[in-house]
Amino acid sequence: MVLKIREAGDAVLRRRARALSAEEILSESIQTLIASMFDTMRAAPGVGLAAPQVGVDLQLAVIEDKPEYIAKLPPEHSAERLRSVVPPHVIINPRLSFLSGGDVEFFEGCLSLPGFTAIVPRALVVKVECLNERAESVTIEARGWYARILQHEIDHLLGNLYIDRMLSRSFMGRENFERSWKNVGIAECKRQLGD
């Protein structure tokens, strides 16, 4: 079932979500929520969706980066972003740590801020310790775009949006981005926009 995605200005997006117990994770209601979140993310379409984005303040997110999404990009964009297929999976009660590699900057969007994008610095390499949909412990080490997706979704669970981390002068409408900035390098965008 496709759920309503909450947009910026909704208080649930600004609250720290609560952790789930193993018993809750295995409950029918949470399993149904997970399935609906996947339906909602795919219908949007998006590569990640956190429970607060559908009005539920739980530390739960679904993630998937499909081959067809990547195929729509010029190969140099995928290569620069270290973007690769990410199979569908669930992260629950995640703990994020940053590994070596420093930060990288790319344009980022959000289903809760439809029609907008901005340059957002994020760690290149991360480790996430979490539970999966079976309440099993999982450790994920991710690099590039997958690391960005994880950071973005975990931010939602902490009550943060990308606009809290963005280079503010790069904030723009998606149409303007597609028309004028999509094929311009980040350094040149920052130079021209003054960030």
Taking only the tens place, the pLDDT of each residue in 177-186 is 999 999 899 9
Mean per-residue pLDDT of the chain: 96
Question: Domain containing 88: what range?
Answer: 11-101+124-160
Would 138 be classed as within a structural domain? yes
Would 130 be classed as within a structural domain? yes
Percent of the chain predicted with pLDDT > 70? 99
Taking only the tens place, the pLDDT of each residue in 78-87 is 899 999 999 9
pLDDT of res. 142: 97
Would 61 be classed as within a structural domain? yes
Taking only the tens place, the pLDDT of each residue in 85-106 is 999 999 999 999 999 889 999 9
Determine the Cα–Cα distance for residues 14 and 160; give it in Å rounded to an integer. Answer: 6
Would 177 be classed as within a structural domain? no
pLDDT at 13 over 70: yes
Would 151 be classed as within a structural domain? yes
Taking only the tens place, the pLDDT of each residue in 130-141 is 999 999 999 999
Taking only the tens place, the pLDDT of each residue in 104-132 is 999 999 999 999 999 999 999 999 999 99
Determine the Cα–Cα distance for residues 145 and 8; give it in Å rounded to an integer. Answer: 23
Between the CA of residue 17 and those of 7, 97, 103, 140, 157, what are the distances in Å? 16, 18, 26, 21, 5
Would 86 be classed as within a structural domain? yes
153 catalytic, yes or no?
yes
Would 150 be classed as within a structural domain? yes
pLDDT at 156 over 80: yes
pLDDT at 160 over 90: yes
| Total structural domains within the chain | 1
pLDDT at 195 over 80: no
Question: Which residue, 178, 162, 172, 171, is CA-closest to 111?
Answer: 162
- Could you say which of 28, 129, 153, 178 is catalytic? 153
